[in-house]
């Protein structure tokens, strides 16, 4: 039967996170031949609704549950990711040069220039993987690190060698490095470099090859 607010007891939100099952449950599900019961594809955002129920609710007979055992069901969400981020910068040409030199060898490529919704300036857009990144001229002022606004923007790559190469490009450009490449203190295998762009906006280049939740491919 449909899940509604009256029957839902708890929502555990998770994007691209498979359901955890025990070895016995895995064996029982395998015997019924329904692999979809074991995990959710990483490319499909979901959340888990824990509801009262007397059975698994998916047609599998391999897992016995009592009438008081909560039932877990997957609800697919429409989120597909952050499509693009635009930065307002003091000198567009200078920022284009910085980001192209830093990220061009990693795949950053300009794909178009369009008038803004105000029709008073042009926005330059780049592809980076499956996301887009834009630069437009600011009306004025200056960025102050940790004032209201963006704290940093992160660009993900595949390997530590690519992060290290980006660091060397930063040194060659004379860019202000905030933290040279190093492993994160909290997330295992998360390796990152931090550098400030010409306007003082903090930029991260990172990878985490063994961490599935940071996988960016579809």
Amino acid 47: pLDDT: 58
Reduce the secondary structure of 86-109 to three states and give it as a string: EEEECCHHHHHHHHHHHHHHHCCE
Residues 140-199 pLDDT 10s: 999 999 999 999 999 999 999 999 999 999 999 999 999 999 999 999 999 999 999 999
Helix (H) / strand (E) element for 188: namely none
Which superfamily does 84-214 belong to? 2,3-Dihydroxybiphenyl 1,2-Dioxygenase, domain 1 (3.10.180.10)
Predicted confidence at residue 46, as pLDDT, reads: 55
Distance between CA 165 and CA 167 in Å, rounded? 5
The pTM assigned to this predicted structure is 0.66
How many angstroms separate the CA atoms of 19 and 174, rounded? 47
- Return all residues near 88 (Cβ < 8 A) that are at least 6 apart: 136, 137, 138, 139
Residues 85, 102: Cα–Cα separation, whole Å: 17
If one counts every other C-beta atom within 10 angstroms of the C-beta of residue 165, the result is 17
| Cα dist from 47 to 41, 151, 197, whole Å | 12, 28, 37
Please tell me which residue, 19 or 135, carries the higher pLDDT value.
Answer: 135
Q: Is 208 helix (H, G, I), strand (E, B) or coil?
A: coil
Q: Return the bridge partners of 134, or none.
A: 86, 125
Q: What is the pLDDT of residues 83-137, one digit of tens each?
A: 999 999 999 999 999 999 999 999 999 999 999 999 999 999 999 999 999 999 9
Domain ranges of the chain: 10-76, 84-214
With contact defined as beta carbons under 8 Å apart, do 108 and 126 qualify?
A: yes
């Amino acid at each position: 039967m449909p899940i509604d607010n009256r029957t839902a007891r708890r929502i555990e939100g998770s994007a691209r996170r498979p359901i955890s099952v025990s070895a016995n449950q895995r064996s029982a599900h395998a015997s019924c031949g329904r692999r979809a019961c074991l995990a959710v594809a990483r490319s499909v955002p979901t959340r888990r609704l824990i509801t009262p129920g007397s059975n698994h609710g998916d047609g599998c007979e391999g897992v016995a549950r009592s009438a008081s055992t909560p039932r877990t069901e997957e609800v697919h969400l429409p989120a597909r990711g952050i499509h693009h981020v635009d930065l307002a910068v003091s000198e567009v040409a200078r920022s284009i040069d910085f980001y192209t030199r830093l990220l061009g060898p990693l795949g950053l490529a300009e794909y178009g220039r369009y008038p803004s919704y105000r029709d008073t300036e042009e926005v330059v857009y780049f592809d980076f993987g499956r996301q887009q990144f834009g630069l437009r001229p600011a009306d004025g002022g200056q960025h102050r690190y940790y004032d209201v606004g963006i704290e940093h923007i992160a660009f993900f790559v595949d390997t530590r060698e690519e992060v290290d190469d980006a660091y060397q490009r930063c040194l060659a450009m004379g860019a202000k490095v905030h933290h040279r490449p190093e492993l994160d203190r909290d997330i295992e295998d998360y390796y990152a470099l931090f550098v400030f762009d010409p306007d003082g906006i903090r930029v991260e280049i990172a990878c985490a090859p063994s961490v599935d939740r940071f996988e960016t491919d579809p």
